[in-house]
A and B are shown apart, each in its own frame.
Chain A
């Protein structure tokens, strides 16, 4: 780990200025991603601007129209929030199924959105020179490497790194927005927040240097109230998803016809992946297992595998179907 400066910010404008003033500086919140990436040499900041003391950024407001979560809220606080647990299960479930209890007690919601891929080739800069995400134009060592954990959706010849998030999958399914500060507030729809790698896998979001996430907001909906996060992985806990699904369901008054359905996938794509084709295939249809299974197969339409990750093209639709069947009460 290299030498760096440490600055503790006490007000948002100070924090923004501190980052703007020094090239190569980074915000530090819970540190569970940043310090980890510094230890493996991916992040080499010149300064860390500690934002954990900024006031007012850790509030959680679960209102009738929306849930607004301050960026410094801890994962564990949101997961355990009584209203969120009871009313909006996918938000709680996607958080407590992530990381470990110790990490959730430290990690913040803003930082959670900024977590970076677990791609082994990305994480060992001293060993693998080819990584377009770290070093644009250098190539991608994962394409022909050990890639069971890699993405089959949203990839490009430049990068197949999986976005590791769980909570972000729920945000994508339910049309959340990210609020950022850069002197004046800016609202970024969640679909615009996570970018595809394309030719520029080093760019993962539209934030400019010095912009600070202050909150995420999730509009409430009947589907959010009948929602679920299903995470499939090799072991029962403390592991990134092999495939996951955040889903929500709203039925018509007849109790059978699908009015609204939300589906997003994790663990298999370069960004949290909204499966709108699955949703479109289900809206207006009668909710039953064959219909759900058939529509879920669309989740990985157009997927491209790289060998070891091929099974995920079959796995992910099953995860979607099972998640939907769970919220639909037929499983």
Chain B
């Protein structure tokens, strides 16, 4: 069951704001949506990666003799003969993209690192030969994980060791009447997109490279190929119309994409490289294991005086990936004194990276768990504690919120959940062998913005084509851009076709940080309005126009028909009008760059293929999406197994372009939060610094049977500081707070505070 109040918002158009089923849905469920590896090319050959089975050291001798006897083997590349590559410093070092380049030297950084590439006439031959490559290793000691006895926390290179903050955290803590300190630990996690990583690469005779790969950011991948192979951007085309789940895994191009392109260049033939599921666990960055130490100081009446957040997280040997977690603490409550500090632990792993709501998901878990602990300490209802510390402006910047309907979210969520019937004592609610627990938590997700570009074409038949290289990673970009264009132009939704995920189309930044919906609706709206303007200029001035009105704004376009607003003439279908004025198309391309930068090609490149232009969506206001989540768990008193029986999430995400799709995003996020709270953990054998559960049988995520009824509620209102069309971020906020709400519910059920995720049965037995 879902309820959405946003459907009645005044700002909604004919299509935006409506619960329209996803435009790509039928193609996907009938198998007609072609994913990258389903692409067919003549003359294609297959590549399989050979991975290191030690975590650290040097590659000694590689014996290829046995592998080369396998029929169909065409080539085996190793560091000895692989093409030298250039590094791609496209994003701040290690922030989302590993700096590691495969087959460039004999050094081994992590267990699972690519150390050879077999190319054969079939996948089966390639995989058989890969199993026959013999490698001598000169193994060296490795640091397996954050808890390894040899692990050493270090300061983040380039960052102040004292961290960041406001006020006088130390003094405030000393003066605080009530203190709460706890350490929360979260394991390494993998986001398990259903579509594994893999790439098809083909070089043309003129040195141009075409790549089919699943990508959250085709322009970013394009830049990576351009830098790695030292070829102009214009020579690279990345095609990624459908993405079978991104979650951060497909933000940038990884070794599979690079090796496919490298092999294709060597072979002068198209190469297909499909990672196995186990290889996916070491083929991209996982969320690192993280230790968060939180100290809260409050007055007797529950006014927070200070938050101290100390984070230690894993990173790799080569890069400084920071998954902080303090961002939520900085904005959630009106607390005058705050300090946050960050340490890193270098481990022998793939460079960690984004997993849906990086920072916020784990930050909210720790903060909102600590708030629950404080509420119990103060004998206050957890919502009451939060209301007593409600921030009426951004406590970090002192800027006003653009919109913050968090109070409404607490209220709507609590009402839908029936929170007032909760008996606050732990272990006070039960049903047979099951202990019942009710928990809640809140969350925040920042609203960032990057410019985008779009092309809108009105064809002679009146149909509309919308084009962008931006991605639909499952959130519904295809659908909402069609809604946007239909509204802006006044044509039926069905008349709009959207093309995405191809660098031959107008450019877009990353589908990450939940920004793509807001920025592309803004770009498409602007472009479609320009196309409408051009159409109506013809209506008012072209000799073939049947209309007498002389100003563009004297016209209305509705249901695909142009008419003078004053009713002085019959409405004319756009197709008919195009014939009358002798046009076969109207094509408009626009971008949403700042006006002073819009004409600079290099600035535009920076906007679309780097993070340079990614920033807060408002200079004057603090813009965030907000949520309050409520959970009922049942804990079996014998087994300690936790089952989530109900979830209610109330969200302030501004205006919803399509409530049906937004609700899916929220629910999916909440389910992902359930996985983080109860099931998901990478297991590492410390002797080998190797992931032992590198498959979907042993890396356990929720299945349908685990997922209860989830009720989601929108409490948002249009926020035009957040985006051109009034929406705030939707894609990741559902994860934020879910794990804390579950952990808090588990405490309420059992009286046991588990501060180490996931909460598996042995921790409660």
Measured CB to CB, the residues of A under 8 A from B are 1-3, 41, 118, 120-121, 124, 126-128, 141, 144-146, 148-149, 232-240, 242, 311, 314-315, 318-319, 321-322, 331
Q: Which residue of B lies closest to A100 (CB)?
A: B703
A235-B700, A235-B706, A331-B433 known; A145-B639 Cβ under 8 A: no
Select one of B128, B131, B702 contacting A235, CB under 8 A.
B702
Q: Determine if B42 is an interface residue (Cβ-Cβ < 8 Å).
A: no
Q: Which residue of B lies closest to A123 (CB)?
A: B695
Are A242 and B765 closer than 8 Å at their CB atoms? no
Chain A residues within 8 Å of B638, by CB: 318-319, 321-322
Are B639 and A319 closer than 8 Å at their CB atoms? yes
Q: Which residue of B lies closest to A121 (CB)?
A: B692
Are A234 and B131 closer than 8 Å at their CB atoms? no
CA distance A318 to B638 in the complex (A): 6
Q: Which residue of B lies closest to A129 (CB)?
A: B53
The 10 tightest CB contacts between A and B, nearest first, are A236-B705, A311-B762, A237-B705, A318-B638, A120-B692, A146-B692, A127-B53, A236-B706, A146-B683, A232-B639
CA distance A146 to B144 in the complex (A): 13
Are A237 and B703 closer than 8 Å at their CB atoms? yes
Q: Determine if B685 is an interface residue (Cβ-Cβ < 8 Å).
A: yes
Are A315 and B639 closer than 8 Å at their CB atoms? yes
Can you pick out 15 interface pairs between chain A and chain B where the beta carbons lie within 8 Å of each other? A118-B697, A127-B53, A128-B688, A145-B692, A146-B692, A234-B641, A234-B678, A236-B703, A311-B761, A315-B639, A315-B640, A315-B765, A318-B638, A319-B638, A319-B639
Select one of A124, A149, A236, A318 contacting B643, CB under 8 A.
A236
Chain B residues within 8 Å of A240, by CB: 697
A234-B679, A237-B705, A238-B703 known; A146-B685 Cβ under 8 A: yes
Are B641 and A232 closer than 8 Å at their CB atoms? yes
| A-facing residues in B171-205 (Cβ within 8 Å) | none
Q: Determine if B635 is an interface residue (Cβ-Cβ < 8 Å).
A: no
CA distance A232 to B705 in the complex (A): 14
Q: Which residue of B lies closest to A230 (CB)?
A: B639
Q: Which residue of B lies closest to A44 (CB)?
A: B131
CA distance A174 to B511 in the complex (A): 57
CA distance A124 to B701 in the complex (A): 22
Chain B residues within 8 Å of A331, by CB: 432-433
CA distance A110 to B591 in the complex (A): 64
Select one of A145, A236, A315 contacting B687, CB under 8 A.
A145
Q: Which residue of A lies closest to B674 (CB)?
A: A235
Q: Determine if B704 is an interface residue (Cβ-Cβ < 8 Å).
A: yes
Are B704 and A237 closer than 8 Å at their CB atoms? yes
Select one of B128, B639, B704 contacting A3, CB under 8 A.
B128
CA distance A238 to B699 in the complex (A): 12
Interchain nearest-CB distance for A166 vs B (Å) = 14
Interchain nearest-CB distance for B137 vs A (Å) = 12
Chain B residues within 8 Å of A2, by CB: 128, 131
Chain B residues within 8 Å of A321, by CB: 638
Q: Which residue of A lies closest to B128 (CB)?
A: A2
Select one of A120, A127, A315, A322 contacting B761, CB under 8 A.
A315
Chain B residues within 8 Å of A314, by CB: 765
CA distance A41 to B53 in the complex (A): 15
| B 623-642 to A, binary, CB cutoff 8 A, 1 in contact else 0 | 00000000000000011110
A235-B706, A319-B639 known; A242-B761 Cβ under 8 A: yes
Are A120 and B698 closer than 8 Å at their CB atoms? yes
Are B641 and A237 closer than 8 Å at their CB atoms? no
| B 704-743 to A, binary, CB cutoff 8 A, 1 in contact else 0 | 1110000000000000000000000000000000000000
Chain B residues within 8 Å of A318, by CB: 638-639
Chain B residues within 8 Å of A239, by CB: 697, 700
Interchain nearest-CB distance for B609 vs A (Å) = 37
Chain A residues within 8 Å of B703, by CB: 235-238
Interchain nearest-CB distance for B435 vs A (Å) = 14
A1-B128, A318-B639 known; A234-B700 Cβ under 8 A: yes
A120-B692, A120-B693, A315-B765 known; A41-B702 Cβ under 8 A: no
Chain B residues within 8 Å of A234, by CB: 641, 678-679, 700, 760-761
Interchain nearest-CB distance for B314 vs A (Å) = 18
Are B433 and A1 closer than 8 Å at their CB atoms? no
CA distance A318 to B636 in the complex (A): 11
| A-facing residues in B664-703 (Cβ within 8 Å) | 678-679, 683-685, 687-688, 690, 692-693, 697-698, 700-703
Q: Which residue of B lies closest to A317 (CB)?
A: B638
Q: Determine if B127 is an interface residue (Cβ-Cβ < 8 Å).
A: yes
Are B761 and A232 closer than 8 Å at their CB atoms? yes
Interchain nearest-CB distance for B475 vs A (Å) = 25
| B 750-765 to A, binary, CB cutoff 8 A, 1 in contact else 0 | 0000000000111001
Q: Determine if B384 is an interface residue (Cβ-Cβ < 8 Å).
A: no
Chain B residues within 8 Å of A41, by CB: 131
Chain A residues within 8 Å of B53, by CB: 126-127
Interchain nearest-CB distance for A213 vs B (Å) = 24
CA distance A239 to B702 in the complex (A): 11
CA distance A322 to B639 in the complex (A): 10
Chain B residues within 8 Å of A127, by CB: 53, 688, 690
Chain B residues within 8 Å of A238, by CB: 703, 705
Q: Determine if B63 is an interface residue (Cβ-Cβ < 8 Å).
A: no
Are A322 and B693 closer than 8 Å at their CB atoms? no
Chain A residues within 8 Å of B702, by CB: 235
CA distance A148 to B681 in the complex (A): 13
A127-B690, A235-B703 known; A322-B131 Cβ under 8 A: no
Chain A residues within 8 Å of B704, by CB: 237
Excluding A149-B698, A331-B432, 18 further A-B contacts by CB distance (< 8 Å) are: A2-B131, A3-B128, A126-B53, A126-B131, A128-B688, A234-B641, A234-B700, A235-B703, A236-B643, A238-B705, A311-B761, A311-B765, A315-B640, A315-B762, A315-B765, A318-B639, A321-B638, A322-B433
Interchain nearest-CB distance for B136 vs A (Å) = 14
Select one of A118, A145, A235 contacting B679, CB under 8 A.
A235
Q: Determine if B266 is an interface residue (Cβ-Cβ < 8 Å).
A: no
CA distance A318 to B765 in the complex (A): 10
CA distance A238 to B705 in the complex (A): 9
Chain B residues within 8 Å of A121, by CB: 692
Interchain nearest-CB distance for A79 vs B (Å) = 16
CA distance A269 to B76 in the complex (A): 44
CA distance A110 to B68 in the complex (A): 39
Chain A residues within 8 Å of B640, by CB: 315
CA distance A242 to B638 in the complex (A): 13
| A-facing residues in B35-72 (Cβ within 8 Å) | 53
A127-B53, A238-B703, A311-B761 known; A145-B641 Cβ under 8 A: no
CA distance A127 to B54 in the complex (A): 9
| B 482-501 to A, binary, CB cutoff 8 A, 1 in contact else 0 | 00000000000000000000
CA distance A239 to B679 in the complex (A): 12
Chain B residues within 8 Å of A232, by CB: 639, 641, 761
